Amino acid sequence: MGTPADEFHLFDTTLRDGAQREGISYSVTDKLAVARLLDELGVGFIEGGWPGAMPKDTEFFARARTELSLRHAQLVAFGSTRKAGVAVADDKQVRALLDAQTGTVCLVAKSDVRHVERALRTTREENLAMIADSVRFFVEQGRRVFLDCEHFFDGYRYDPGYGLSVVRTALDAGADVVVLCDTNGGGLPSSVYRTVSELRGKLGGEPRLGMHAQNDTACAVANTIAAVEAGAMHVQGTANGYGERPGNADIFAVIGNLTTKLGRQVLPDGCLETMVRVSHAIAEIANIAPDTHQAYVGASAFAHKAGLHASAIKVDPDLYNHVDPAIVGNDMRILVTEMAGRASVELKSRELGLDLTGHPEVLSSVTEQVKRREAEGWSYEAADASFELLVRGELDDAPVTAFTLESYRVIVEHREDGAVVSEATVKVRVRGERVIATGEGNGPVNALDAALRAALVRHYPHLSTVDLLDYKVRILEGSHGTGAVTRVLVDSGDERRSWTTVGVHENVVEASWRALVDALTYGVRAAAPQAAAAAR
Ligand X SMILES: CC(=O)SCCNC(=O)CCNC(=O)[C@H](O)C(C)(C)COP(=O)(O)OP(=O)(O)OC[C@H]1O[C@@H](n2cnc3c(N)ncnc32)[C@H](O)[C@@H]1OP(=O)(O)O
- CB-nearer residue toward ligand X: 150 or 518: 150
- Binds 57, which of ligand PYR, ligand X, none (CB < 5 to 8 A, cut-off by type)? none
Tell me the β-bridge partners of 137: none
Cβ 155 to ligand PYR, closest distance in Å? Answer: 11
Residues 6+ apart with CB under 8 A from 436: 425, 426, 427, 455
- Binds 53, which of ligand PYR, ligand X, none (CB < 5 to 8 A, cut-off by type)? ligand X
- Binds 19, which of ligand PYR, ligand X, none (CB < 5 to 8 A, cut-off by type)? none
Q: What angle do CA 250, 251, 257 make, to 5 degrees?
A: 95
- Binds 200, which of ligand X, ligand PYR, none (CB < 5 to 8 A, cut-off by type)? none
Cβ 92 to ligand X, closest distance in Å? Answer: 9
Cβ 80 to ligand X, closest distance in Å? Answer: 4
Cβ 341 to ligand PYR, closest distance in Å? Answer: 47
Closest listed residue to residue 236, CA positions, set 18, 1, 33: 18
Residue nearest to ligand PYR (CB): 181
Contact between 492 and 499 under an 8 Å Cβ cutoff? The reply is yes
- Binds 214, which of ligand PYR, ligand X, none (CB < 5 to 8 A, cut-off by type)? ligand PYR
- CB-nearer residue toward ligand PYR: 13 or 294: 13
Cβ 395 to ligand X, closest distance in Å? Answer: 58
Contact between 14 and 43 under an 8 Å Cβ cutoff? The reply is no
Cβ 184 to ligand PYR, closest distance in Å? Answer: 8
| Alpha carbons 264 and 225: distance in angstroms, whole number | 11
- CB-nearer residue toward ligand PYR: 89 or 158: 158
Cβ 236 to ligand PYR, closest distance in Å? Answer: 8
- CB-nearer residue toward ligand X: 78 or 378: 78
Cβ 191 to ligand X, closest distance in Å? Answer: 19
Query: Which residues in this chain contact ligand PYR in the complex, by CB under 6 A?
Result: 17, 108, 148, 150, 181, 183, 212, 214
Contact between 355 and 392 under an 8 Å Cβ cutoff? The reply is no
- Binds 169, which of ligand PYR, ligand X, none (CB < 5 to 8 A, cut-off by type)? none
- CB-nearer residue toward ligand X: 108 or 363: 108
Residues 6+ apart with CB under 8 A from 66: none
- CB-nearer residue toward ligand X: 53 or 476: 53
- CB-nearer residue toward ligand X: 130 or 285: 130
Cβ 119 to ligand X, closest distance in Å? Answer: 6
- Binds 50, which of ligand PYR, ligand X, none (CB < 5 to 8 A, cut-off by type)? ligand X
- CB-nearer residue toward ligand PYR: 108 or 227: 108
- CB-nearer residue toward ligand PYR: 207 or 210: 210
Q: How far is CA 507 from CA 424, 473, 486, 511, in A?
A: 16, 11, 7, 6
- CB-nearer residue toward ligand X: 94 or 515: 94
Closest listed residue to residue 175, CA positions, set 9, 2, 58, 3: 9
CB atoms within 10 A of CB 503: 24
The SS3 call for residue 263 is coil
Cβ 70 to ligand X, closest distance in Å? Answer: 23
- In sequence order, what E strands does 382-419 have? 404-414
Query: Hey, what's the torsion of the CAs at 79, 80, 82, 83, to 10 degrees?
Result: -130
Give backbone dihedrals phi and psi of 28, rounded to 5 degrees, phi first: -65, -40
- CB-nearer residue toward ligand PYR: 179 or 524: 179
Give backbone dihedrals phi and psi of 142, rounded to 5 degrees, phi first: 85, 20
- Binds 110, which of ligand X, ligand PYR, none (CB < 5 to 8 A, cut-off by type)? ligand X
The SS3 call for residue 243 is coil
DSSP track, 277-331: HHHHHHHHHHT----TT-TTTSTTTTEE--HHHHHHHHH-GGGT-SS-GGGGT--
Cβ 338 to ligand PYR, closest distance in Å? Answer: 45
Query: Which residues in this chain contact ligand X in the complex, by CB under 6 A?
Result: 17, 50, 53-54, 80-81, 83, 108-110, 119-120, 130, 150, 183
| Alpha carbons 441 and 412: distance in angstroms, whole number | 10
- Binds 501, which of ligand PYR, ligand X, none (CB < 5 to 8 A, cut-off by type)? none
- Binds 212, which of ligand PYR, ligand X, none (CB < 5 to 8 A, cut-off by type)? ligand PYR
- Binds 83, which of ligand PYR, ligand X, none (CB < 5 to 8 A, cut-off by type)? ligand X
Contact between 262 and 225 under an 8 Å Cβ cutoff? The reply is yes
| Alpha carbons 336 and 334: distance in angstroms, whole number | 7
